[in-house]
Amino acid sequence: MIARRNSCALGCRSVCLPPWIAAQCALVLVAVAPVLAQCPADVNGDGSIGGSDLSIVLSAWSSNGQGQYDADINNDGIVGGADLTALLSAWGSCAPIVPAWATLLEASPNPAAVHNEATRAAIAATGYAWRVRHTVTQIEMVLIPPGTFDMGCSPTPQSGCWLEENPVHQVTLTQPFYLGRYEVTQAQWTAVMGSNPSHFQGASYPDAASRPVERINYNDAKAFVNAAGMRLPTEAEWEYSYRAGTRTAFHSMPGFPNGTDDESNLQLVAWIGINSGMQTRPIGLKPGNGFGIHDIAGNVLEWTNDWFGDYPSTPQVDPTGVPSAWGRVFRSGCWHLGPWLSRVSVRFEDEPEGLRVSDTGLRVAKNP
């Protein structure tokens, strides 16, 4: 264990459906060859959302939606009011869904940011817009698609793993979620909380507003996300988002599309002890990873929602950590750490009410 501070729906049955919707049940399904839908509301994959899709959803009402077509639009395991709402909201086109809490910035993954074609397809297949802005806080967020990955120990030739990074185990995340493209800034924190706890502010740091907020413990981070109507990512969501399809110690970067285990390369994408000038830096100055996320390997450490506990050895689905423990998990490298402590699988912990230190901030998450 690396303890601080070793490192300086509606649910409505068919009987209560409005007559105009119930009448759609009489529609005859059109036989079309299924194609990959770019948004899940296009149930039959014909490129538009209309009566045929509605008929499929209503025919599958209260089931798991599995058949010739997948009628479970929101992927929650049952066809119901939430799926009907999603379909009607997207009626007539196959435009990606923008969550009610968000403002659209970019509908589809930008190839300049999300380089891998399969990753772009996975994001598009969720049906949600790729890049949005949380309307209340103005925090920019990107869509992370569901997927399966191996969680745990990723060593480098120079550095092995800590005991708590093992065993490596398979994790499946079944639901898409939005994650902050950048760490929460001092300006964003102040707008929500009314004050700025950060060390790197004042006349000596004129760009402080765009630097990540720091000097916050877990309870502070939790208070912020609760006030903003957001949440902290789980530890599994955080590691999956860092990796973005890679299996190496460090995520993808210019010249290394599949990631790298070479510690000397990390400074290309992260502010760490060897290049930061021993201070935080404004967000987004370094290239992002394969999901278009910036600074997740450095700048400040980032709180997750999980209690710190031993990893299981068996495959896990949507894990949320142990029920309770001494400390909460925080991840990432930071402005004063070396590359070996900035590896994707390194884990830290501290008491929720612990010390407020200038190397620890947060990145937010939110369900669509």
The answer to whether residue 21 scores a pLDDT higher than 50 is no
For the chain, give the percent of residues with pLDDT over 70.
88
**314, 333 Cβ separation under 8 angstroms:** no
Verify cis geometry, omega within 30 degrees of 0, for the bond prior to 243.
no
Q: How many other β-carbons are positioned within 10 Å of the β-carbon of residue 38?
A: 17
Nearest to 292 by CA among 252, 246, 247, 259: 252
All structural domains of the chain with their residue ranges: 14-89, 102-366
**The predicted structure's pLDDT at residue 299:** 98
Phi, psi at residue 154, to the nearest 5°? Answer: -130, 95
**Three-state secondary structure call for residue 228:** helix
Quickly list DSSP for 182-220. Answer: SPPBHHHHHHHHSS---SS-STT-TTGGGSBP-S--HHH
Q: Residue 269 — very low, low, confident or very high, per pLDDT cuts 50/70/90?
A: very high
Verify cis geometry, omega within 30 degrees of 0, for the bond prior to 155.
no
**The predicted structure's pLDDT at residue 68:** 79
Provide the pairing of β-strand 316-317 with 360-361.
unpaired
Q: Quote the mean pLDDT of the chain.
A: 89
- 281-317 pLDDT, tens digit per residue, is 999 999 999 999 999 999 999 999 999 999 999 999 9
| Residue 189 to residues 99, 295, 365, Cα–Cα distance (Å) | 22, 17, 15
User: Please, what is the Cα angle at 361 between 358 and 366, to 5 degrees?
Assistant: 175
- 236-257 pLDDT, tens digit per residue, is 999 999 999 999 999 999 999 9
14-89: CATH, from 1.20.950, 1.10.1330, 3.30.420, 1.10.3470 = 1.10.1330
- Tokens 């903003």 identify what position? 228
- 302-359 pLDDT, tens digit per residue, is 999 999 999 999 999 999 999 999 999 999 999 999 999 999 999 999 999 999 999 9
**The predicted structure's pLDDT at residue 4:** 47
Query: Can you give the three-state secondary structure of 38-98, one letter per residue?
Result: CCCCCCCCCCCCCHHHHHHHHHCCCCCCCCCCCCCCCCCCCCCHHHHHHHHHCCCCCCCEC
DSSP 141: E
**135, 99 Cβ separation under 8 angstroms:** no
Q: What are the b/e assignments for 98-133, b being 16+ CB within 10 Å?
A: bbebbeeeebebeeebbbbeebbebbbbbbbbbbbb
Nearest to 358 by CA among 214, 169, 151, 161: 214
Of 28-37, 72-81, 275-284, the least confident: 28-37
Residues whose CB falls within 8 Å of the CB of residue 124, separated by 6 or more in sequence, listed in order: 38, 39, 96, 108, 109, 130
Q: Model's pTM, two decimal places?
A: 0.78
102-366: CATH superfamily: paralog of FGE (formylglycine-generating enzyme) (3.90.1580.10)
Of 35-44, 162-171, 219-228, 261-270, the least confident: 35-44
Q: Residue 95 — very low, low, confident or very high, per pLDDT cuts 50/70/90?
A: confident
**The predicted structure's pLDDT at residue 45:** 66
| One fold for 14-89 and 102-366 | no
**The predicted structure's pLDDT at residue 39:** 63
